[in-house]
Amino acid sequence: MRSPTHGGPRGAAPWRLSGRGSKGSARTNDWAAAEATRRERYPGDAPVDFDILASATFPKVIVSGAWPPDIAPGRERARDALNDVADVVAARIGAERVVFPRSSHGPQWEEPQAFNEFLRKLWTSA
């Protein structure tokens, strides 16, 4: 099942529903996910205290995928925007910046072995 995606501020989201039946109706889970997302608070509204994060003594890491063209064709603008934001946040809070080469939006499920190995190393070094 695909999750609905936010299309813009304040939950304005075009639904991408999978699993349409022969009569064009979406599965119950798809509609439930769409309805839950419609009521969610837009993530961009969340307050982030960068000063507190910067002063924290625990290891900080900002992770993203490289969004290679063979995995995410036509997504260059999204890749550039996401990586620009990740670079700025990492610099602002003093975090390590890690890019997974064969992932786009979700390295944790697109490169699970590499991601988990990275976490193991991070946790054992702290």
User: From CA 92, how far away is CA 69, in angstroms rounded?
Assistant: 29
pTM above 0.75, yes or no: no
The average pLDDT across 78-97 equals 94
**Confidence bin at 1 (pLDDT 50/70/90):** very low
**Confidence bin at 126 (pLDDT 50/70/90):** low
DSSP H helical ranges for the chain: 28-39, 50-55, 76-93, 107-110, 112-125
Lowest mean pLDDT among 10-19, 29-38, 40-49, 85-94: 10-19
The average pLDDT across 20-36 equals 67
Residue 64 phi, psi (nearest 5): -150, 175
Higher pLDDT, 61 or 9: 61
The average pLDDT across 50-74 equals 93
Break the chain into its structural domains and give their ranges.
9-45, 50-125
**Confidence bin at 22 (pLDDT 50/70/90):** very low
